[in-house]
Amino acid sequence: MARVYNFSAGPSMLPEEVLRIAAGEMLDYDGTGTSVMEMSHRSAAFIKIAADAEKSLRELMEIPDNYKVLFLQGGASTQFAMVPLNLMGRSPSKTADIVNTGMWSKKAISEAKKFGTVRVVATSEDKNFTYIPELTKDMFDQSASYAHITPNNTIFGTRYRDIPDTGDVPLVADMSSCILSEKYDVKKFGIIYAGAQKNVGPAGVTLAIVREDLIGNELDGTPTMLGYKIHAENDSMYNTPPCYSLYIAKLVFDWLKAKGGVAAMQKINEEKANLLYDFLDNSKLFKGTVEKKYRSLMNIPFVTGSEDLDKAFDKQAIAQGFINLKGHRSVGGMRASIYNAMPVEGVKKLVEFMKDFESKNT
Ligand X SMILES: *Cc1c(COP(=O)(O)O)cnc(C)c1O
Does the protein bind ligand X through residue 338 (CB under 6 A)? no
Does the protein bind ligand X through residue 86 (CB under 6 A)? no
Q: Which C-beta is closer to ligand X: that of 10 or that of 333?
A: 10
Among 10, 157, 190, 301, binds ligand X (CB under 6 A): 10
DSSP category for residue 3: P
x/- site string to ligand X, residues 17 to 56, per CB under 6 A?
----------------------------------------
Q: Which C-beta is closer to ligand X: that of 89 or that of 151?
A: 151
Closest CA to 351 of 290, 282, 276: 276
β-pairing verdict for 322-323 and 5-6: parallel
| Cβ pair 295, 271 in contact under 8 A | no
Does the protein bind ligand X through residue 174 (CB under 6 A)? yes
Minimal distance in Å, beta carbon 79 to ligand X? 8
Closest CA to 175 of 5, 325, 298: 298
DSSP category for residue 326: B
x/- site string to ligand X, residues 223 to 262, per CB under 6 A?
----------------------------------------
Three-state DSSP state, 41: coil
In 10 A of CB 119, how many CB atoms? Answer: 15
| Cβ pair 297, 159 in contact under 8 A | yes
Number of residues that bind ligand X (CB under 6 A): 11
Among 39, 76, 118, 209, binds ligand X (CB under 6 A): 76
Three-state DSSP state, 171: strand
Among 15, 75, 116, 242, binds ligand X (CB under 6 A): 75
Does the protein bind ligand X through residue 14 (CB under 6 A)? no
Contact stretch for ligand X (CB under 6 A) within 38-46, 156-164, 171-179, 229-237: 171-179
Contact stretch for ligand X (CB under 6 A) within 23-31, 73-81, 163-171, 228-236: 73-81
Amino acid at site 304: T
> Which residues, in sequence order, are CB contacts of 56 under 8 Å at separation 6+?
250, 253, 254, 257
Does the protein bind ligand X through residue 177 (CB under 6 A)? yes
In 10 A of CB 178, how many CB atoms? Answer: 26
Of residues 111-170, those binding ligand X (CB under 6 A):
150, 154
Amino acid at site 216: G
Distances (CA, A) of 198 to 22, 48, 302: 18, 24, 20
Q: Which C-beta is closer to ligand X: that of 90 or that of 106?
A: 106
Q: Which C-beta is closer to ligand X: that of 76 or that of 303?
A: 76
Which residues would be at the binding site for ligand X (CB under 6 A)? 10, 75-77, 104, 150, 154, 174, 176-177, 195
